[in-house]
Homo-oligomer: A and B are copies of this chain.
Amino acid sequence: MKAALIQQSPAADRDTSLSTTEKAIRKVAAAGTDLVLLCELHTGPYFCQTENPVHFDRAEPIPGPTTERLGRLAAELGMVIVASLFERRTEGLCHNTAVVLERDGTIAGRYRKMHIPDDPGYYEKYYFAPGDLGFTPIDTSVGRLGILICWDQWFPEAARLMALAGADLLLYPTAIGWDPADDTGERERQLEAWITVQRGHAIANGLPLLACNRTGFEPDPDGRSAGIRFWGNSFACGPQGEMLARAGAEHPENLMVELAPERSTRVRRTWPFLRDRRIDAYGDLLRLYRNDQ
């Protein structure tokens, strides 16, 4: 199974962004791609650097204009596309949502981001209600996809729940970057931590993993911070966390990778972690903390 990660620097408006995305998808289709993963909120700038109600104009329903356009493309090219949209469920209720377009152009399913960050430069709790669909993988013609989004990638619980629900593959549309005010050491540690924690999920669950990130600099519209330099480095790893492909930091890139599902079978037989989970002793995972009972 051939997958492609479209590492992108989205433009200011939806049409231009989607035209660039479409060009990239046509290119990887020509190389025989079965599955395309796009980066987080790829239809425009990462607007969450500021809290401004004007950006709710960017939200769109699902199905809606973007899923129609990408659905037509998926059908024409006969591939599965994982898109990442600002979903307007109703006025005043929006989500950060990944949506899967099947080879026939239909919507196979959606995942609404469950863990929502709120940190300087990433004011997502203002825009997105936490997902209410749980950690539910989506069945497609290329397998059962365990789609999670960005901040989710720091939570081992999310990857584990997807694995327990039978996911064949973990996928993360992402928008993460450096604060230009941080020193080089901190930037290196952050990038390395982002890659390492995700490789850890692949290992702990015996599953391959795809992470597709934005690239390029986006200024803070309020001019309060130094903006975000999205760090690219989209990557694919196998079920032992082994790196299969990795993009650079600075430029848009179509990262191609061939996945071999039988690798997961072999790895899970060598390391049968799922057999030995102590579910009798995991109850406190359902508490925020247990030091202050």
A95 at the interface (CB under 8 A from B): no
Could you say how many copies of this chain the assembly holds? 2
Provide the bound-state CA to CA distance between A278 and B196, in Å: 22
Provide the bound-state CA to CA distance between A161 and B281, in Å: 9
What are the residues of chain B within 8 A of A192 when measuring CB–CB? Answer: 240-242
Provide the bound-state CA to CA distance between A291 and B166, in Å: 6
Interface string of A239-276 (1 = CB under 8 A from B): 01110000000000000000000000000001111101
What are the residues of chain B within 8 A of A72 when measuring CB–CB? Answer: none
With both beta carbons as reference points, the residue of chain B lying nearest to A238 in the complex is identified as B189
Mark the stretch among A26-34, A197-205, A221-229 that contacts chain B.
Answer: A197-205
What are the residues of chain B within 8 A of A114 when measuring CB–CB? Answer: 278, 281
Chain A contacts to B: CB under 8 angstroms:
114-117, 119, 130, 134-135, 151, 154-157, 160-161, 164-166, 189-190, 192-193, 196-197, 199-201, 203-204, 240-242, 270-274, 276-279, 281-291
What are the residues of chain B within 8 A of A291 when measuring CB–CB? Answer: 164-166
Q: Which of B119, B196, B279 contacts A287 (CB 8 A)?
A: B279
> Other than the known A115-B276, A192-B241, A196-B199, what 11 A-B pairs have Cβ atoms closer than 8 Å?
A114-B278, A130-B278, A156-B157, A156-B201, A165-B291, A193-B242, A196-B203, A196-B241, A197-B204, A274-B289, A282-B286
